[in-house]
Chain A
Amino acid sequence: MDKLAMRDVYGETLLELGRIYENLVVLDADVSKSTKTISFAKAFPDRFFDVGIAEANLMGISAGIASTGKIVFASTFSVFASGRAYDQVRQSIAYPNRNVKIVATHCGITAGEDGAMHQAFEDIALMRSIPNMRVIAPSDGVETRKVIEKIAELPGPFYVRLARPATPVIFDESYEFKLGRGTILREGKDGVVVACGIMTYIALDAVKILLKDGIDIGVVNMSSIKPIDIGLISSLSKKYRYIFSCEDHNIIGGLGSAIAEVLPPTEARLIRIGLNDEFGDSGKFEELLKFYKLDPFSIAERIREAISNDRI
């Protein structure tokens, strides 16, 4: 399976968009080599601004530039974009509905060795509770490109969270991202995993393990966390007895919570898999997946247990 880093794709896509949109401006806060906005900076130096280590100012300046009719992409790490600059995102960007696209990299545990200080497990919760803000967690490099292209077209603010490492490619080029729509990647019988971000490919691996045991689990990619696909969740709740949400984010306030908020009163049980209201730890991304029981084997085990306990 090919691998792509979402942030690399983001950098490449910005380059393409820079050629298409003359009014597209990019800002960064001293992490352009890591967020990959540096390629845009080199190609369009007159439309790239590095504000230094000042995330509040990053969001404020972005709002000001957007007020003159420009499309603004503002990037830094997700922990700073959502937490450090929360008030600026809320007041300067979301409240007046400014055309600012916050594309935040190094999301969740993918920040890896840098540890808890750089690992935002709360960013989806923070951003999706702000009116006007839309929240997207693409699942692979291909989807990242589709998402970045789409949000450049759509007016108003977005928060997009991207992973740091190269991850397996799930989609092919024919995939079309639709805001507020989930994608059924695999139909099952015994339950369904609804995942976002890097957890989508991990969920696909987990259901392969379960299939060997005769447990047939579907997989849905729910990259559009806000707006969420209410219709799809409703139909999943009718078809499946178990819905497992899966995210590299606190189970409080993230994808699982977003699903719970729109889940119709049915027989379906929602089991939220993610970080259990805790801070992160240092380690390689793959090590952390195991440490937090978010690797395919741990997730398969969790699903197996949930189903078998219930059967007893």
Chain B
Amino acid sequence: MIYDLGRLAEIARRVRYNTLYMITKAGSGHPGGSLSAVDIMVALYFNVMRYKIEDPLWEDRDRFILSKGHACPALYAIFYELGIISREELDTLRKPGSRLQGHPDIKKLPWAEFSSGSLGQGLSFAVGVALAGKIDKKDYYTFVLIGDGESQEGQIWEAAMSARKFKLNNLIGITDRNGLQIDGETESIMPIDPLADKWRAFGWNVLEIDGHNFSQIISAIERAKESKDLPTMIIAHTIKGKGVSFMENVVDFHGKAPSQKEWELASVELGGGSIG
């Protein structure tokens, strides 16, 4: 589906609202890194990607792999927009037996593509998916969203080398560069800068954008698709907790659910959602 920018902004607002609603209701979760990634994911699902909601394993679909699996409430909120999950299910996040596990479980929710949660693994999986696309001469794209803190995992760089070796121009990575991780700023915990230079040194095509600007996200992906034989990494500069004033750039909201009072304030700022 291809929605215009105004429509994307409205969907993103609802997704943020429902993401936070779910996390508040669950009493635990990761609001900061979910909210920073919302615009990227909304652009992919509502403008960029080719897929069939009724056929999640359609072999020609574009794939989105959420390697930073703790941002899954945002993915679930998108699935709610798409009608994959119901209003009632939003209340079941992180509860026993729910399809909405604390980290995605593809056996329960095949639309999620990858059971992520152990950071660093999604890029290798995405390399495999993209490589299979080359073997089968398919024209689908593989998108993978990784965290900036996640980029401290060594496996990311193993996967980076292999994507270049296998010339996976059908692989498009996006780094949610919000600058924060659980213990503090990425650059004080374990510096990853100069991040763009690192990816270039690993042989990737690198683009840098504002990860909250839909036209920049979409045009960067269009440019990535023109890459001849290099995989592309889009470094999306984002704000952790984006959309809620008192959560923005606040490291403590990495892995802490809002209190009921905080939710009431946030829900006003987010202008209401599709909930009740």
Q: How far is the CA of A157 from the CA of B224 in the complex (A)?
A: 34
A: number of interface residues (CB 8 Å): 29
What's the minimum C-beta distance from B96 to chain A, rounded to whole angstroms?
A: 17
Q: How far is the CA of A192 from the CA of B154 in the complex (A)?
A: 48
Q: How far is the CA of A95 from the CA of B127 in the complex (A)?
A: 19
CB pair A54 B161 closer than 8 Å: yes
Q: Does B59 contact A (CB under 8 A)?
A: yes
Q: A63 to chain B: which residues have CB within 8 Å? A: 124-125, 128
Q: B129 to chain A: which residues have CB within 8 Å? A: 64-65, 67-68
Q: Does B246 contact A (CB under 8 A)?
A: no
Q: Does B7 contact A (CB under 8 A)?
A: no
CB pair B161 A64 closer than 8 Å: no
* Interface-facing stretch out of B40-48, B131-139, B231-239, B267-275: B131-139
Q: Does A88 contact B (CB under 8 A)?
A: yes
CB pair B136 A68 closer than 8 Å: yes
CB pair A59 B132 closer than 8 Å: no
Q: How far is the CA of A80 from the CA of B134 in the complex (A)?
A: 28
CB pair B135 A88 closer than 8 Å: no
Q: How far is the CA of A25 from the CA of B158 in the complex (A)?
A: 20
Contact-size category for B: 20 to 34
* Interface-facing stretch out of A43-51, A138-146, A269-277, A287-295: A43-51
CB pair A49 B166 closer than 8 Å: yes
CB pair A57 B162 closer than 8 Å: yes
* Interface-facing stretch out of B23-31, B78-86, B114-122, B206-214: B114-122
Q: How far is the CA of A64 from the CA of B130 in the complex (A)?
A: 8
CB pair B106 A59 closer than 8 Å: no
Q: Does B217 contact A (CB under 8 A)?
A: no
With A64-B132, A67-B125, A97-B107: A57-B159 Cβ-Cβ less than 8 Å = yes
Q: A70 to chain B: which residues have CB within 8 Å? A: 132, 135
CB pair A62 B106 closer than 8 Å: no
CB pair B59 A69 closer than 8 Å: yes
CB pair A87 B118 closer than 8 Å: yes
Closest to A94 in B: B115
Of the candidates B106, B118, B121, B154, the one having the most CB atoms from chain A within 10 angstroms of its own CB is B121
Q: Does B145 contact A (CB under 8 A)?
A: no
CB pair B125 A60 closer than 8 Å: yes
Q: How far is the CA of A60 from the CA of B114 in the complex (A)?
A: 11
Q: Does B126 contact A (CB under 8 A)?
A: yes
Q: Does B152 contact A (CB under 8 A)?
A: no
What's the minimum C-beta distance from A102 to chain B, rounded to whole angstroms?
A: 14
Q: How far is the CA of A47 from the CA of B131 in the complex (A)?
A: 10
CB pair B115 A47 closer than 8 Å: no
CB pair A91 B121 closer than 8 Å: yes
Q: Does B155 contact A (CB under 8 A)?
A: yes
What's the minimum C-beta distance from A53 to chain B, rounded to whole angstroms?
A: 9
What's the minimum C-beta distance from A289 to chain B, rounded to whole angstroms?
A: 36
Q: How far is the CA of A59 from the CA of B162 in the complex (A)?
A: 13
Closest to B132 in A: A68
Given contacts A64-B131, A64-B132, 18 further A-B contacts (CB under 8 A): A54-B161, A57-B127, A57-B155, A60-B155, A62-B128, A64-B126, A64-B128, A64-B129, A65-B129, A65-B131, A68-B136, A87-B121, A88-B118, A90-B118, A92-B121, A92-B125, A95-B115, A96-B115
25 A-B pairs with C-beta separation under 8 A:
A54-B162, A56-B120, A57-B155, A57-B162, A60-B124, A60-B155, A60-B159, A61-B125, A61-B127, A61-B162, A64-B125, A64-B126, A65-B132, A65-B135, A66-B128, A67-B114, A67-B125, A67-B128, A67-B129, A67-B132, A68-B132, A70-B132, A92-B121, A95-B107, A96-B105
